[in-house]
Structures are given as C-alpha cells and as structure tokens.
Amino acid sequence: MKRSRSNNAAGAPRASVALGGNPNVGKSTVFNALTGLRQHTGNWAGKTVAVARGAYTYRRRRYAVVDLPGTYSLSARSAEEEVARDFLLSGQADAAVIVCDATCLERSLRLVYQTMALTRRVIVCVNLLDEARRLGLCPDLAALGRRLGVPVVGMSARTGEGVGALMEAVRAVTEGEIVPAPVLPALPPGPEDERARALAAAAEEAARVCLPVCPDPSGHRLRRRLDTLFMGRRTGAALMLALLCLVFWITLAGANVPSRLLGTLLLSAQEPLRAGLAALGAPLWLCEALTAGVWRTLAWVVSVMLPPMAIFFPLFTLLEDFGYLPRAAFTLDRHFCRAKACGKQALTMCMGWPDLFGGYRAAPSTARMTLSVHSSNTGSGVCMNSLAR
C-alpha cells in the first residue's frame, strides 16, 4: 500500500498492474480488453517467455499492464513460473490481477492462494462467466470475495462484460481506497506433501463457497462426444489430418488470387519508381539497385508471404478458440515423445508452416521450421495439462 500512496503523493501518473493466471483462462483476452491491444500470447513451448506490456487510461490515470506468462503455480520450476514469481516478488506491480476460469474455479484458486502469499494487493478476476452460465453455473462472487479477503470481479472478457468493474477495482486498490486483506490458509510447515494437500483443500473449499452446486463439467454430453471424436484412438489422428488439410487447402487456394494481384500491383510500380529516380538525377547503378534490387525483392516477398499468412493465422486462431490445439497435442504426443519432444511442439511447428509455404513458392527453405523445433524446451513430462477448455 505504501508504494501506491507515495506514488499518489508524488503525483506519479502511472500505476503498474500485473496480470497473472493459469494458461487458457482467457488471460490474453482480458489483457486485450483492458489495453485494446491486439496481441497474441500463448504458452506453447518454444515461445520465448517474454512478458507482453500494454497500457490504458482510466479516470485520467495511466495504468501499465504487464501480461505475465500463464502458469499453474508460482514455485519457479519452469522459466514461465520463474518470470511470474520474480515479477510479483519484485514489488514492481501496484496490483496483481489473477484471472480465473469460472468453469474451473478450484484450479485457478490454487494460484490465487499462492499469489496472495507473495503479495497482498491481489484482485481476483473470474473470467469466462458467459461460458459458466451456459454450463448452468452461477458463481457467488461476493461470497468468494469475503472468503479470500480480496476484491473479486466477474468478467466475460470476450463480450467486454466486467471490464469497467475490473478497471474500477484496480483503481481502488492501487490508490489505496480498498486495502485487500488476503485470508490465507494455515499451511503446515512440514513436508511439501502436507502443504500441497492443505492448498488443494483450501482451494476446494473456497470454490465450494463460490459454487455450492457444481455440476460435473465432464457430464456435458456434446463436449464429451466431441472429445471422444477428436481425441479418440482411431478418429483423432484422421480428423486432425483432415482438419489440417482443410486449413492448408483454404490457405493455398485462397492465397493464390490475392498473391497474384498484389504481385502485379507492386511490380507495376517498379517502372514509375525507376523513372522517378532517374528524374531526380540518381546515377544508373543506384536506380537499378533500388528498383530491380530492393523494390523487386520486396514486392516478391510481400506478395508471396502476406496472403497465406493473412489467411492461415486467423484460421489457426479459430482452432485455438475452439480449444482444438491442446487436443491435437494430445493426439500427437506419442510421436513427439519418440523424438524426446512433446505434443505441444506440433503447434509451434504448425505456426511455422505458412513460412514454409512461402518458402516452397519462392525458394525452398525450412529454416524456420527446424528453428522452432530446436528452440522448444524438452523434458517436461506433463505436457498437455491444459485440456480444460
């Protein structure tokens, strides 16, 4: 509290807000809803653990938002956890917003408890309320707030519901209007097992306070059927191939026409450019280097690469939103396991594919693809522990 007060006294216009949470709880959507920044963060192995930053203004005050990597815990065993933990411990954040999944509250609350042990200024943001309602859940956020001792805000970041309330809560906490008083479970000092059990029990209890009646999400029939289909022994791999082929076909077929148009358009500017340069009195070698060299190459690269990427990545995002990617990782893991990698890396590879297409069309090069495989971390056994959505 001291920090934010002294900030105010000095008239400092900025407050810093850390955004944490489990992977796949819509943390990036919350980040985008707050900052208005279209920004993609994923937790697939191989992506650099870099924290994304953004900012927003609320009631004439600037708030810098730091999007921490999604983690299940803060015990600093992976690079992501270390980054998240160090940032929270460094005291740089005037408030820590922990994004929770309303449909899987208990797991999120374990991270909330861990965060509250590191810093007091915690705000709990229960996201995906719309999805919870669809499942027939209606979380009692006020009760959860009383139980945790920190502000709790409900949200559906996708529709924008609750964004204002979150900004208001952040303002109140950073300005010291609300002083969170986290209620931490008594964790026994003994062996780690005991503590893990106590933490799990506390999270379970808090989740029950919030959702007294919690229908088993596994009971959702359509979802169960789809899962059986997309992750099944026989159908999983076939469906994945079919889906990927479809995505690639749309990408390739759809990119042809805009590629040609873009190419013609850009290359048609070459002659006027040369004439213009000549008119300016540029020497011949410079004219040639700039037009036949720089411009021509640029035109080729843009016309070949841009359309497939503009089609492939939105399609991929769509698959991600449907929650298909972890399921594909599940299906593929066995094969990647043999290469001492994990199924999640298939997605890193997929993300490199449009470049590969471009490569095939212009000059064969698979550099990016191998790069993404090499830079991926290996070893972690629990690979696809984010199937909840």
Partner 1 sequence: MRSLACLAAGECARVRAVVSEDAMRRRLMELGFVEGTRVRCALRGPPGGPAAYWVRGAMIALRRADARSIWVSADS
| CA separation for the pair 288, 72 (Å, rounded) | 57
326 scored as a contact of partner 1 (CB under 8 A): yes
Q: Report the residue number, 150 or 240, with the smaller CB distance to partner 1.
A: 240
Q: Report the residue number, 169 or 211, with the smaller CB distance to partner 1.
A: 211
* Neighbour count for residue 121 (Cβ, 10 Å): 28
Give the N- to C-terminal CA distance of the chain in Å, as an integer. 36
Binding mask 46-75 for partner 1 (x = CB under 8 A): --------------------------xx-x
Q: Report the residue number, 69 or 236, with the smaller CB distance to partner 1.
A: 236
Q: Report the residue number, 25 or 299, with the smaller CB distance to partner 1.
A: 25
Selected from 40, 77, 134, 225, the binder of partner 1 by CB under 8 A is 77
330: its two tokens: 């599940």
Selected from 2, 218, 285, 374, the binder of partner 1 by CB under 8 A is 218
Q: What angle do CA 88, 155, 22 make, to 5 degrees?
A: 40
| CA separation for the pair 179, 9 (Å, rounded) | 17
Alpha helices in the chain (DSSP H): 2-9, 27-35, 79-89, 105-118, 129-134, 141-148, 163-174, 192-210, 221-231, 235-268, 270-279, 284-288, 296-321, 324-338, 345-351, 353-361, 367-374
Which of these segments, 9-17, 263-271, 272-280, 378-386, binds partner 1 (CB under 8 A)?
A: 378-386
| CA separation for the pair 123, 19 (Å, rounded) | 10
Q: Report the residue number, 79 or 367, with the smaller CB distance to partner 1.
A: 79
Q: Report the residue number, 135 or 262, with the smaller CB distance to partner 1.
A: 135
341 scored as a contact of partner 1 (CB under 8 A): no
Shortest separation between residue 193's beta carbon and partner 1, angstroms:
7
Selected from 197, 242, 250, 298, the binder of partner 1 by CB under 8 A is 197
| CA separation for the pair 12, 317 (Å, rounded) | 38
Burial class (CB in 10 A: 0-12, 13-18, 19+), 3: middle
CA distances from 370 to 317, 340, 375 (A): 22, 15, 9
Selected from 18, 33, 100, 105, the binder of partner 1 by CB under 8 A is 105
- Binding to partner 1 in span 126-155, by CB under 8 A: none
Q: Report the residue number, 230 or 316, with the smaller CB distance to partner 1.
A: 230
Shortest separation between residue 329's beta carbon and partner 1, angstroms:
8
Contacts of residue 94, Cβ cutoff 8 Å, sequence gap at least 6 = 3, 4, 7, 15, 16, 17, 121, 173, 174
Nearest in space to 31 (alpha carbons), one of 138, 170, 145 = 170
37 scored as a contact of partner 1 (CB under 8 A): no
385 scored as a contact of partner 1 (CB under 8 A): yes
Which of these segments, 267-275, 277-285, 353-361, 380-388, binds partner 1 (CB under 8 A)?
A: 380-388
Neighbouring-strand partners of residue 154: 126
Burial class (CB in 10 A: 0-12, 13-18, 19+), 371: middle
Selected from 232, 272, 276, 283, the binder of partner 1 by CB under 8 A is 232
260 scored as a contact of partner 1 (CB under 8 A): no
Which of these segments, 32-40, 163-171, 196-204, 284-292, binds partner 1 (CB under 8 A)?
A: 196-204
Residue 20 backbone phi and psi in degrees, to 5: -120, 175
Neighbouring-strand partners of residue 66: 18, 53
316 scored as a contact of partner 1 (CB under 8 A): no
Residues at the contact surface with partner 1, assessed by CB under 8 A: 72-73, 75, 77, 103-107, 110, 192-193, 196-197, 200, 204, 207, 214, 216-218, 224, 227-228, 231-233, 236-237, 326, 329-331, 333-334, 337, 343, 381-385, 387-388
